[in-house]
Structure 1
Amino acid sequence: MERVRVLVFNAALGALDYRVPEGMAVEPGSVVVAPLGPRQIVGIVWEAERLAAKDVPASKLRALLEVLPVPPLHTSLRRLIEWTADYYCAPVSAVARMTLASGSALKGGGTTTEYRLTGEEPARLTPQRAQALDLLHGEQATIRELSEIAGVSEGVLRGMVGAGLIEPVTVDIDRPYPRADASFAVPELTAGQAEAAGLFTQSLRSGGFAPFLLDGVTGSGKTEVYFEAIAEALRQDRQILVLLPEIALTENFLRRFEHRFGVPPVLWHSSLKSTERRRAWRAIAEGTAEVVVGARSALFLPYARLGLIVVDEAHEVSFKQDDGVRYNARDVAVIRARFEEIPVVLASATPALESMQLAEAGVYRRVELADRFGGASLPGIDTIDLRAEPPERGRWLAPRLVEEMHKRLARGEQSLLFLNRRGYAPLTLCRNCGYRFQCPNCTAWLVEHRFSQRLACHHCGHETSVPETCPECGTPDCLVACGPGVERIADEVAEILPEARTALVTSDTLNTPERIGEFVAAAEEGAIDVIIGTQLVTKGYHFPELTLVGVVDADLGLEGGDLRAGERTYQQIAQVAGRAGRASKPGEVLIQTRHPEAPVIAALAAGDRDAFYDAETEARRHAGAPPFGRWAAIIVSSEDEAEARDTARAIGGRRPNHPDIAILGPAPAPMALLRNRYRYRLLINARRSAELQDVIREWLGAFDFPPGVRVNIDIDPYSFV
């Protein structure tokens, strides 16, 4: 009889011991099925000395039921799971669950049935069947997935199968992906690009952990440089992971990747169909998926022979997960590379201050690309002081910006207007009684969306129609939209440039890879004159005819007391400014602001990135903020406000007295009500020498919280709402 420790996916249980029946072979990392009460659960065999478990006599151990037909998780991945759980104060089981992200993939190979249109079009169609025929063109998936795509019931689709409009297709679940060709279309690099690429390829040949910060101005060809590192890893028959911050960037990246390597990479993100996730997971675990491009969750997949990690747009806030396990994929990527003993490349035109400091300290090797590719020059940047050059009454674009847009339209060039605010207006109120439309579930105003004629909460998804009368006083035709969103700017552009062809680029309008692809193709072909967008347009795109960028409200990101507000604003505006003048024509950037003297705005206007980083570094050092100190947050929430408040006060009342740690709060969170849960926060500031996680675990471990209360720990928080 052999006794093994199994990590089960229940945070309250942790690890349990089981007996290995005769004839069953298991090892650390094996994925197994075990009994738990009357149920069968999936778990991972772990080293007994690394996870504590309740001591159970051997005679009472229950036997494992099955070893699942997937490769055992590598030692390096198990160490990464432990490190992530320890650093972010999360249950080991919650982190481990992310590695087994496709339950169906654990069952082994085989075939499945998917469905597609036959091409038949009968003379008579119900409205629902007609809708399905319109929306399912080119799609192949399960009935459930097709019903979500078409917006009709599964019964409608099954009826279409019976009528011969949809046909079943047998699909090999584990069919191999086409192999990438490292020599398919080798680019001609500049001397600076070739030198940077040479550093990466030499590191791959030498082997071992090597963290790089690829710091290149917008348009310098960072992607082409790390593509050469990918090519070298392919020649070594190693797997490559490329992390992108948003699915919106994927479509553009896929085209560039396929042009270079002849085939598309393997995708991993939350929008994949279940069959695609299953196929990708098994190919990753077996080592046949060569290059994986994905969102942050791709970081925890069980790669068979990982050889290189690339984090593109490494400064992006969206690499930090704000629910579940609250990890930062940029930082965990470096740790995974360390455990795997491989190179990792963090690529950005505006690196995070923490990354810059690690490069200054010699922990990362900084590789600079100071010039744009092909002789293109960086755009000229100027500010428009809205106090001295205000827009016309009822408008939001200053006269100078409007004049430059007219010039671009006359020359057949493109303009881009950036405002990081979705919808038509951030607030709608009654001009008669002052009533403001607020979300019933959150401490947030409802945002008016004119295109969909809805009022929506961008935090919980609550929507309601725009009423004809004020809900408070009953007055008709009294509602006023306050402030601009991108939809309002689009209306203004239609008024001042009626002949211009416009595109509105937000997560509301471009919410599928197909729509993103259509937008990119139209912009590249010159079928769009003015692009109006949110942060979705700030990075990753290359439009040769785009020569003017207008930042509608540069001060927006500086509001709200975010500790990283200055850095985030600088990164966002610098990235969107980088869309201008990327080809032979020079670019210009106009920044509308009421505070041109603010350090971040002044640095942008002067094109002096070093001055901004120096000033931000000193401010952080003085405040003991990252990277010179540590922040952590404890968020207490409950559907009962008194319960949340009392629990937060109890936690605050037993705060540890530590010389290297200061604790602020508890206080109501800025977003005091979120998704019907009342929220209180405690903010912790610690010296880097403090054992912050140990202090928090010991502090909170003494409590037995009420069932309705959630207490979440956020290490290195990015969101302070």
Structure 2
Amino acid sequence: MEPRPATVAPMSATSASSACDAAAPLYPPGARVGVLLPLPLGGLYDYRVPRSGPAVAEGQPVEVPLGKRREIGVVWGAGEGAVAEAKVRDILRVLPATPLPQVTRRFVDWVAAYTLSPPGAVLKMAISVPQALEEPRPLTVYGLPDPDHPPDLAALGVKETRARRAVLNVAADLPPLPAGDLAREAGVSDGVVKGLAQAGVLVPSLVHPQLDPPRPDPDHPGPTLSAGQEEIAEDLRSRVRGHAFSVALLEGVTGSGKTEVYFEAVAEALRRGRQVLVLVPEISLTSQWLSRFRRRFGVPPLEWHSELTQARRRDVWRAVANGRAAVVVGARSALFLPFRDLGLVVVDEEHEQAFKQEDGVSYHARDMAVVRGQLGSVPVVLASATPSLETVLNAESGRYDKLHLPERHGGSLLPDVDVVDMRRMPPEKGDWGRSWLAPPVVDAVSETLERGEQVLLFLNRRGYAPLTLCRTCGFRIQCPNCTAWLVEHRLVRRLVCHHCGHSEPTPRQCPQCGDEDSLAACGPGVERLAEEVVGRWPEARSVVVASDTLGGPLAAAALMERIAAHEVDLLIGTQVLAKGLHFPELTLVAVVDSDLGLSGGDLRAAERTYQLLTQVAGRAGRAAKQGRVMLQTYQPEHPVIQAMVTGETAQFLEAEAEGRRATSMPPYGRLAALIVSGEDEGAVDAACAQLSRAAPREANVEVLGPAPAPLAMLRGRHRRRFLLKAPRGVRVQPVVAAWLGRVKVPHSVRVQVDVDPYSFL
């Protein structure tokens, strides 16, 4: 059976809102329906509603036959009738799940059309936990026959013990619980509970569990807002009350209280019984955010991210679909959860590159959040101290509203910024080996530690050293699967590829010439910087904080608590420490390599570096004590460094915008990338030759490439890139779709389309 295309019609905010509120169409027994499968197949398949069963609603998850397999899909609309009736097969089973809301289905179609992805691939993100579509398995729980009249153990022939009495006391105070939970509450083993059940003292029963999280209290006492904060908070509340689509850029310096301000919009949505989604870039470092949320609303929100267990993801998905989840905080994939009545979307740190998904369906969660808001008539808040140039342009053009918090909350001041010119003040070698800290930074760290305050040494490079080479023959150790050097991680004595994850023990001999002890580490990573810290300040309590040392959300939360409690004096960290963290005693931030990221051909290099430096600088002096930031650089005259010193963000952004405007680069032009990859380099080059011959020849469209990608091999696949460039007003999707339609690419070669690319690797 050949699939038929899933069509997507443009939808205005008004029509979207009415469509969301309309009852889903019902298809009677015997009707033909189009089912979308969560597979990259590109269209709908016709199936028949069983004549012996009930009517099926649009959006209903179903199980259908596909060849010899059984697949889960979603009824997407009426069948088209192009397939002969004799070939149309019946739906096997209607799953006991709530139908996907129409706004969710419209969103799936919109994202698929925009990203030129098969709708089924996008649907897979919306039903990412297939177990959530099934009836929850019943649990056996144990309780007393009559909690008001405790049983007489002697009359039942059961000897009373301290453990059994503890179980009965707990069972009298709590509803029926699973054996393990009841035993845990009573402080006994499971066997005690099951023994009482076998004796007839406890009565087993079956229940269908469902997550019923406590509802956040919008009127729980919160912090007192300043006059400026309260003015913006009321603006956001009015947007929620208006139940209409809008986008507000909430811009404020680091420490200005943006989170507390948008919490007031969250509270307003809760008062109106509507759901809230907060997107964050780094879910593993949200412990402080979660603590602030609990203080403001009395209970934590639900979380959604890849590190949850499948059982927890299943429960959260169901809670969202059934409307029991009031507030969800999550990574970018939370955008595809089936919210029944979404009243507010917040994108925190909207400038973060982590919101861009590169693999599979390439989309930017910030931009798709705006689309989700428009389709559902939902206000959207984009929060950042360093908004992206795209968002700034939208605010200047009037598409977004701009709300500004110019001062830190509570009277704390922005830190002083000093530039350390490494050409004039190079590091001095110590007993531990090469040094990476300039003398002024060493002095400042010592003085700060003597005052009993905390220090952050920032270096955005994981591991011990980014490159290992042989001093004898010059051999550089490279990943066997990627065009990338292996990074030494000395703490675990391994070389690791940060692109594909390949790992191997650090060799003692050079793999090429065989010389022993000739391998040298080149350049610093945070682990190598930690060696210098231990050598210079052996009494300081130091810790390395990077994505590969955190050990998951719970370990990260415990570490953040230790740092906040001043159980750590000196932090050596990467960009995971640059976002939204508040440590009152942290007064000095020293950036070891401020130039890192300023080169490499990325059109957003300067913007990203400025954002990162501003964010990490914002960790200093967030309480009563004045903060200080020191930037080690070999380019003190660079516009990014100068903007950090002067604080003239607007001038820097205008200069950055002028450069993009002059070259018609985003956000003043449109880009779409084609990444052609395969295990056979000849087949990849042959496919590129076909694509080159079929490339668009339109006057306002330019095609660059093919060229080997900077990572010319990734995970064992050879890679080539095309870049299509067009004016801002051109819709690149039809152009790219027509281009690909003129070429038959072999199955051994993959062509990935990335509309609005952020990475050029």
Measured in 2, the distance between the counterparts of 1:418 and 1:66 equals 56
Partner of 2:577: 537
Aligned counterpart in structure 2 of residue 30 of structure 1, from 47, 56, 60: 60
SS class of match (2:398): coil
Could you report, residue by residue, the CA deviation over 1:320-374 in whole angstroms, capped at 9, with x for unpaired residues?
0010100100000000000110111010000000000000011111110111010
Q: CA deviation at 1:113?
A: 9.2
Could you report, residue by residue, the CA deviation over 1:98-147 in whole angstroms, capped at 9, with x for unpaired residues?
11111111112333699xxxxxxxxxxxxxxxxxxxxxxxxxx9xxxxxx
Partner of 2:219: 183
**Contact residue 138 and residue 208 of structure 2 kept, 8 A:** yes
The 1:498/1:13 distance shift into structure 2, 3 A limit, reads closer
Measured in 2, the distance between the counterparts of 1:112 and 1:580 equals 50
Q: Give unpaired runs (5+ residues) of structure 2.
A: 1-29, 142-177, 179-188, 194-203
**Contact residue 39 and residue 124 of structure 2 kept, 8 A:** no
1:581 maps to amino acid: G
Partner of 1:89: 116
Q: CA deviation at 1:47?
A: 2.8
SS class of match (2:48): strand
Q: Is 1:686 equivalent to 2:713 in the alignment?
A: no
Aligned 1:233-382 pairs, distance under 5 A: 233-382=269-418
Partner of 1:461: 501
Aligned counterpart in structure 2 of residue 582 of structure 1, from 615, 618, 622: 622
Q: Is 1:221 equivalent to 2:246 in the alignment?
A: no
Partner of 1:60: 87
Q: TM-score normalised to the size of structure 2?
A: 0.86
Measured in 1, the distance between the counterparts of 2:382 and 2:81 equals 42
Q: CA deviation at 1:234?
A: 0.6
Q: CA deviation at 1:702?
A: 2.0
Aligned 1:200-215 pairs, distance under 5 A: 200-215=236-251
Could you report, residue by residue, the CA deviation over 1:442-463 in whole angstroms, capped at 9, with x for unpaired residues?
0000101111111111011111
Q: What stretches of structure 1 move > 6 A for 4+ residues in a row?
A: none
**Contact residue 456 and residue 590 of structure 2 kept, 8 A:** yes
**Contact residue 629 and residue 687 of structure 1 kept, 8 A:** yes
Q: CA deviation at 1:705?
A: 1.4
Measured in 2, the distance between the counterparts of 1:481 and 1:709 equals 37
SS class of match (1:56): coil
Measured in 2, the distance between the counterparts of 1:353 and 1:346 equals 13
Aligned counterpart in structure 1 of residue 76 of structure 2, from 41, 46, 50: 46
May I ask how many residue pairs the two structures share in their alignment?
Answer: 670
Q: Is 1:100 equivalent to 2:127 in the alignment?
A: yes
Q: TM-score normalised to the size of structure 1?
A: 0.90
Aligned counterpart in structure 2 of residue 490 of structure 1, from 514, 517, 530: 530
The 1:189/1:701 distance shift into structure 2, 3 A limit, reads same
Aligned counterpart in structure 1 of residue 233 of structure 2, from 197, 206, 215: 197
Measured in 1, the distance between the counterparts of 2:140 and 2:402 equals 49
Could you report, residue by residue, the CA deviation over 1:40-83 in whole angstroms, capped at 9, with x for unpaired residues?
2111112349xxx6711334322212221122122211111111
Measured in 2, the distance between the counterparts of 1:493 and 1:175 equals 47
SS class of match (1:510): coil
SS class of match (2:220): coil
Q: Is 1:401 equivalent to 2:441 in the alignment?
A: yes
Measured in 1, the distance between the counterparts of 2:406 and 2:726 equals 36
CA RMSD in angstroms comes to 2.0
**Contact residue 630 and residue 688 of structure 1 kept, 8 A:** yes
**Contact residue 445 and residue 588 of structure 2 kept, 8 A:** yes
Whichever of the two has the greater Rg, that structure is 2
**Contact residue 582 and residue 622 of structure 2 kept, 8 A:** yes
Measured in 1, the distance between the counterparts of 2:380 and 2:218 equals 19
Measured in 2, the distance between the counterparts of 1:329 and 1:112 equals 37
1:101 maps to amino acid: S
**Contact residue 383 and residue 593 of structure 1 kept, 8 A:** yes
Measured in 2, the distance between the counterparts of 1:324 and 1:181 equals 38
Partner of 1:69: 96
1:190 maps to amino acid: S
Q: CA deviation at 1:172?
A: 5.7
**Aligned residues with identical type, % of pairs:** 53
Q: Is 1:616 equivalent to 2:656 in the alignment?
A: yes
2:104 maps to amino acid: L
Partner of 1:716: 756
1:7 maps to amino acid: L
Partner of 2:144: none
Measured in 2, the distance between the counterparts of 1:12 and 1:423 equals 41
Aligned 1:550-589 pairs, distance under 5 A: 550-589=590-629
Partner of 1:655: 695
Aligned 1:469-548 pairs, distance under 5 A: 469-548=509-588
**Contact residue 283 and residue 289 of structure 1 kept, 8 A:** yes
Q: CA deviation at 1:637?
A: 0.4
Q: CA deviation at 1:295?
A: 0.5
Aligned counterpart in structure 2 of residue 430 of structure 1, from 457, 467, 470: 470
Q: Is 1:21 equivalent to 2:62 in the alignment?
A: no
Q: CA deviation at 1:665?
A: 0.4
Measured in 2, the distance between the counterparts of 1:591 and 1:374 equals 26
Q: CA deviation at 1:519?
A: 1.5
**Contact residue 9 and residue 97 of structure 1 kept, 8 A:** yes
Q: CA deviation at 1:12?
A: 2.8
Could you report, residue by residue, the CA deviation over 1:409-467 in whole angstroms, capped at 9, with x for unpaired residues?
01001110111100010001111111111100000001011111111110111111111
SS class of match (2:614): helix
The 1:161/1:657 distance shift into structure 2, 3 A limit, reads farther
Partner of 2:158: none
1:28 maps to amino acid: E
Q: Give unpaired runs (5+ residues) of structure 1.
A: 115-140, 142-159
Could you report, residue by residue, the CA deviation over 1:450-501 in whole angstroms, capped at 9, with x for unpaired residues?
1111111101111111111111111111111000001111111111111111
**Contact residue 215 and residue 348 of structure 1 kept, 8 A:** yes
Measured in 1, the distance between the counterparts of 2:207 and 2:626 equals 51
The 1:171/1:506 distance shift into structure 2, 3 A limit, reads farther
Measured in 1, the distance between the counterparts of 2:211 and 2:525 equals 46
2:455 maps to amino acid: S
SS class of match (1:228): helix
Partner of 2:669: 629
